[in-house]
Amino acid sequence: MMDGYRGLLAHRDFRLLWLGQVTSQFGDACYEIAMVWLVLQLTGQDYFSVGLVIFARLAPYVVIGPFAGVYVDRWDRKRTMVVTDVVRGFLVLIVPLLHVVGALQVWHVAAVAFTLTTCRTLFNPALQASIPRIVDESRLVGANALIQASGQTAAIAGPAAAGLLLTWISADALFVLDGLTFLFSAAMIALLALHALPRDRSTEGTVRTELAGTIRTLSRKRPVLWSVVLYAVGLLTIAGSYRVGLAALSENVLGGGSATYGLLIAALAGGTVLGALVLGATQPRRPTVVIFGGWALWGVCFAVLGLGGSLVLALVLAVVSGIGESAATVFTTALVQRAIPPEQLGKVFGLWSLLCSTGESLSGVLTGYGLGRLDVRTVLGIAGAATLVMSLFGLAVTARQDTGVPTETPSGGQG
């Protein structure tokens, strides 16, 4: 297994891309903590202001996300990634600069958060669409797994490091760190031997017609379509329980408060890293079985979480649910990359991002509503059961269509 990952990291272009992403993901994880902390400092512990800033951070996914993919497919993807990273790097540095001169206000932080996510709606589809042109098809699963595992590791280490650093330095100093990581990522991507795809302007239409064409392409590839759409449905059923429900479980059932919540989140992230690294070394003949099997595992774990009251059991279930999450994410990403023509990948990943952000946002609202009327055990049980039903439906609708990952689209690497 490790030989496969060593082979990936021996690939110059993938190594450069991976180094840039590991660094910037760590900076982002620190930034998330610093953003909340800084807003609380600016407002005297006003949590409503924190909520508004978080809303501003999420809004571009819905407002801009669907159209971003169209332009990602029209533009040079390498240049898009470099420019958006450079913009994000200098944009983040505005916050500590304003803070130093005493001019920083909450709306500045919200505006920066909105613009950072706007850049992310362009960067992420460009990144995901570029991976099939950096590594060959046989290494796509491993490449996606390694990037996901690195991101989850950063999600564990970043907040911990940020919390420690905030005892010695100010919150705005972490914005400086995040800005530097973006600039480092831009430098790594600039070194890639990744050339622009040939562009046939005669086939380009309006944004609407190009999106409609992409939807038609997806409709002809049913296993991919169902995997993408049901991924968003899965987030609708379970994401709120992950972000809000676990906090309520920690406080009201396990009795450990924020410390227990931190342990559960770390355990879930650790399971995601483990699952990504193990599953990334496999090449299943029926990828949708692994995808929806992962969703089923995630759902069952959360349903059982609502039944138990043991911290040890909760931590084990969190690790196992993380493995399920990684199965769904890694293989759905690889399925899209292998099945969709290169010139449409940006649009597909843009649409997927829109669906996912919508599902995740609504899930938080539904979970909060449920927790206001039901006990946390019931809410987790309903969420887990709904996710399990979705996974069984996904297995049923793809059972006769998924004979393996489609490979009619060449996607060989460049080196």
Q: Would you write out the chain's pLDDT as a tens digit for each of its 415 residues?
A: 555 778 888 889 999 999 999 898 888 877 777 777 778 778 876 757 776 777 777 778 777 876 888 888 888 999 999 999 999 999 999 988 998 888 888 889 889 989 998 999 899 899 988 998 898 888 888 888 888 888 878 777 776 677 677 777 777 778 888 899 999 999 999 999 887 666 555 556 677 787 788 888 888 899 999 999 999 999 999 988 876 788 788 878 887 766 677 778 778 888 988 998 888 878 888 899 999 999 999 999 999 987 877 889 999 999 999 999 999 999 999 999 988 888 888 888 888 888 888 888 788 778 878 888 888 889 999 999 999 999 999 999 988 665 444 433 333 333 3
Same domain (yes/no): 171, 264: no
Per-residue three-class SS string for the chain: CHHHHHHHHHCHHHHHHHHHHHHHHHHHHHHHHHHHHHHHHHHCCCHHHHHHHHHHHHHHHHHCHHHHHHHHHHCCHHHHHHHHHHHHHHHHHHHHHHHHCCCCCHHHHHHHHHHHHHHHHHHHHHHHHHHHHHCCHHHHHHHHHHHHHHHHHHHHHHHHHHHHHCCCCCHHHHHHHHHHHHHHHHHHHHCCCCCCCCCCHHHCCCHHHHHHHHHHHHHCCHHHHHHHHHHHHHHHHHHHHHHHHHHHHHHHCCCCHHHHHHHHHHHHHHHHHHHHHHHCCCCCCCHHHHHHHHHHHHHHHHHHHCCCCCHHHHHHHHHHHHHHHHHHHHHHHHHHHHHCCHHHHHHHHHHHHHHHHHHHHHHHHHHHHHHCCCCHHHHHHHHHHHHHHHHHHHHHHHCCCCCCCCCCCCCCCCC
What phi and psi, each to the nearest 5 degrees, are found at residue 296?
Answer: -60, -45
Counting the structural domains of the chain, the total is 2
Domain harbouring 73, CATH code: 1.20.1250.20
Residue 410 covered by a domain: no
Q: Does residue 412 lie within any of the structural domains?
A: no
In a domain, 414, yes or no: no
In terms of domains, do 239 and 309 share one? yes
The verdict on 28 and 177 lying in the same domain is yes
pLDDT confidence of residue 403: 46
From 169, 196, 223, the end of a domain falls on 196
Residues 147, 242: one domain? no
pLDDT of 181 reads 92
Q: Are residues 180 and 220 in the same domain?
A: no
Q: Tell me whether residue 286 is exposed, middle or buried, using C-beta atoms within 10 angstroms of its C-beta: 0 to 12, 13 to 18, 19 or more.
A: middle
Point out the domain boundary residue: 138, 171, 196.
Answer: 196
Tell whether 226 and 152 lie within a shared domain. Answer: no
Range of the domain at 349: 210-405
User: Same domain, yes or no, for 177 and 218?
Assistant: no
In a domain, 268, yes or no: yes
User: Which of 196, 230, 256 is a domain's end point?
Assistant: 196
Is the domain of 46 the same as that of 132? yes
Based on the fold, state whether residues 63 and 186 are members of the same structural domain.
Answer: yes
Q: Is residue 133 part of a domain?
A: yes
Residue 45's pLDDT is: 67
Judge if 141 and 223 occupy the same domain. Answer: no
Pair (10, 98) in one structural domain: yes
Quick one: pLDDT at residue 47? 59
- Whether 118 is covered by a domain: the verdict is yes
Which pLDDT belongs to residue 3? 59
User: pTM here?
Assistant: 0.76
Q: Is residue 84 part of a domain?
A: yes
Sign of the Cα pseudo-torsion (388, 391, 395, 396, in order): positive
* 140 lies in the same domain as 229: no
Radius of gyration of the chain (CA): 21
Q: Which residues contact 213 (CB under 8 A, 6 or more apart)?
A: 205, 344
Q: Is residue 252 part of a domain?
A: yes
pLDDT (0 to 100) of residue 291: 95
